[in-house]
Structure 1
Amino acid sequence: MARKDGKVLVVRFSSIGDIVLCSPVIRCLKRQSGFEVHFLTKQVYADLLQHNPYVDKVYSIRASITEVIDDLKLEGYAHIIDLHKNLRSAELQWRLRMKAFTFDKKNIEKWKMTSFLKAKVNLDHIVLRYMQAVEPLKVGYDGQGLDYFIPRNLEPVIPVSGDHMICFAIGGAHVTKRLPTSKIIEICKGLKGTVYLLGGKEDKNAAEAITRAADDVVDFCGKLTLAQSAWMIKNAALVLTHDTGMMHVAAAMQKPIISIWGNTVPEFGMNPFYANDNKPLSYRAEVKNLSCRPCSKIGYDRCPKGHFKCMEWQDAAQIISMVDKLLS
């Protein structure tokens, strides 16, 4: 119920998955308060917010907040909700002469998990930690999971059939979060039905190698917009994905997910997040009990140890079996 007038600025500059993970904050703010909700992000991610009915206005930057600071000052915000918590968002607070509500990034705990200590910690999910930022405004999590809104006028990417459609999001921001191409080929060869590869232009070489080696695989890497990729996921029977943005898009669509983990671990609090009353059967594929894992909270361009066991040792047959169980 509305109780206040004014505007709130929610800040998260990047990236796809993190912005999708912010969606419960946006929804709960809009539904539980009388605030007008604005969002500040990078220009490349602005489309993620444009079709969200809980966002009243989107501001975006290419490189610097100086691009929008004059306009932001004119808005007269009642509050800033800082869901990025970095130097840029600190600069924003200084320029607006406002202190933001924010959350605990748990960086010390993550360091203990990735350092020589290899501490066994299971962090609260990042969505619940994001919600900490709006608790002072008497806004709480509603249990309804993540949101992702596809434009209503988006044309179907492919004809929707009754067949089991499998989407495989093969990308990832860092090499150590992605399966080797040879392992993806092994998995695709064992799957029943058509597999649709999703990814960016940077995944094109891997996708071409996969389609050459495995039958009944369709390459959409670098060919679809983000909204079109989300449409594919919405219409899929299940989604295979690394620990990346498409995993969170799939969770927003309430899809069964086989999430494949390399140097990162679900215990960071970034695993698929579903609505409380709708949790589809899903699986995690990870190599347990490696002394070197997790080695980073983000990822590397190469395995620091040189062996890449966290992905090279992934059991392709087990992943294929997971798919069969979810489709049966």
Structure 2
Amino acid sequence: MNPHYNDESTYRAKMDFSSRLKTNIIKITLTLRAMFTRIAQTVLFRKYNNPKTILVHRIGTFGDSIVALPAVASIKSAFPNAKIDFLTTYATPINLSTIIENGYFDNIYLIDKKNRQNELKKLKHHKYDLFIDIPQKYGLYKNLRNMLLARFFLGIPSAFGWDSGMTKLFAKTQMEFMPPKREIDRFLDMLAQNGITPKLEFPIKIESNDVLDEFVKTHSKDKMIAFCIGTNVSANEWVIENWINLAKPFIDAGYKIALIGGEQEKSKGEQISKNSENILDFCGKLSISQSAYLLKNCNLAICHDTGAMHLSYAVGTKTIAVMSSRQFYTKWAPPQNLGVVIQKTLECSGCFMSQCPINHECMTNIFTEEVFKTAISIISSSPNAL
């Protein structure tokens, strides 16, 4: 069922001929892609049978890695006695290898794209029984290329994954009538189709330090709100004035604010925190595992569409995602029991641009009053609300 409409009849009534035509084209496109992928997998690989050695492949950024964690947990649970290695790239300094709990993989291999062939040659000698691709949004060419690499270059007899997942075709129509599945669910469904029981678990490495231990002891979780102010995509950014203005009603209501961000957010953190002693600036001061600890000890987190947003709900903290409409929010939204998305739909929604060429209305139309009211509503509905 489409999340934008309460019943099927309303959903159908909203669709004009053009929308029906476009949705049918999208369905046909995705069906043909899936069919081709299944045929290629069937031809190239045999079904796995009690694998003793497994190679799991996943690339992507911080957020891409967190949404893959339930899939990793499911694989580990399904094959508790197998040797499981993990393969990723150096594309980003923060990847799954840096955030997962110890003990999930026997070995982690980081492949440098410039030296990919030599690095992959080293893996041939492991003679893996099974290759599992936790799929990124590849096209058909890359999917087929990676299948051929797994089968003939690495010599792995069994493999699955490579779900193409989405198309950018008629993005605005997709947003309204057939938004893509959440990435977490897409991965778990892929595993279920291949005989692995899905588990919605996030095995994130959580660590503290003396400063955080003291902070948690002296501040009530019920009165602590996290602002995750970082983003690497300018089109996703809610300007600093909004964060400053949002902090004011929280502080007036007796809350304290913890600012979370990387080195690149240090200047913003200083500008926001100078306005009140009740705003505590942790930007550039914490590792990912320490940020996870801090988020776990907050009542609520308000975030950009970024890795910290995924980290927040992954540690069980209620999360508000302030999202641009540049892409499909349903792919990256927090699970419904742990989060709310605030997003504005415009004519230019689904542009997939990293930098807005006009006036960034999808973010400027998100006002601090709406975010604050949403936050108080979530806090008030919590079983532990004051």
TM-score tier (shorter): 0.7 to 0.9
1:54 corresponds to: 104
Counterparts of 1:243 and 1:67, CA distance in 2: 36
Give the SS at the match of 2:171.
helix
Give the SS at the match of 2:205.
coil
Give the SS at the match of 1:179.
coil
TM-align CA RMSD: 2.7
Q: Counterpart amino acid of 2:160?
A: F
* TM-score normalised by L of structure 1: 0.84
Question: Any residues of structure 2 matched to 1:84-233 within 5 Å, and which?
Answer: 84-85=135-136, 86=138, 87=142, 90=146, 92-93=149-150, 95-98=153-156, 100-108=159-167, 110-113=168-171, 120-135=177-192, 137-142=194-199, 144-151=200-207, 155=210, 157=212, 158-160=214-216, 161-163=219-221, 164-192=223-251, 193-213=255-275, 216-233=278-295
Question: Any residues of structure 2 matched to 1:207-286 within 5 Å, and which?
Answer: 207-213=269-275, 216-264=278-326, 267-273=329-335, 279-280=337-338, 282-286=339-343
Give the SS at the match of 1:195.
strand
State the 1:175 CA deviation.
0.6
User: Is 1:39 aligned to 2:86, yes or no?
Assistant: yes
Question: Residues 24-82 of structure 1: CA distance to partner in whole angstroms, max 9, x if unpaired?
Answer: 11111121235322111235332223x24433322223444346323311221112112
1:18 corresponds to: 64
Give the SS at the match of 2:227.
strand
Give the SS at the match of 1:23.
helix
* TM-score normalised by L of structure 2: 0.72
Name structure 2 gaps, 5 residues minimum: 1-48, 381-386
Question: Residues 260-300 of structure 1: CA distance to partner in whole angstroms, max 9, x if unpaired?
Answer: 111345544211137xxxx34x322222x41111321xx51
Pairs aligned (count): 311
Counterparts of 2:175 and 2:238, CA distance in 1: 23
Give the SS at the match of 1:324.
helix
Name structure 1 gaps, 5 residues minimum: none
Which has a greater percent of helix?
2
1:313 corresponds to: 365
2:351 corresponds to: 295
Q: Counterpart amino acid of 2:293?
A: W
Question: Any residues of structure 2 matched to 1:54-73 within 5 Å, and which?
Answer: 54-63=104-113, 64-66=115-117, 68-73=119-124
Counterparts of 1:77 and 1:22, CA distance in 2: 21
- The answer (yes or no) to whether the contact 2:189–2:198 under 8 Å persists in 1 is no
Counterparts of 1:112 and 1:136, CA distance in 2: 28
Q: Counterpart amino acid of 1:74?
A: H
Counterparts of 2:188 and 2:271, CA distance in 1: 42
Structure whose CA Rg is larger: 2
State the 1:114 CA deviation.
5.2
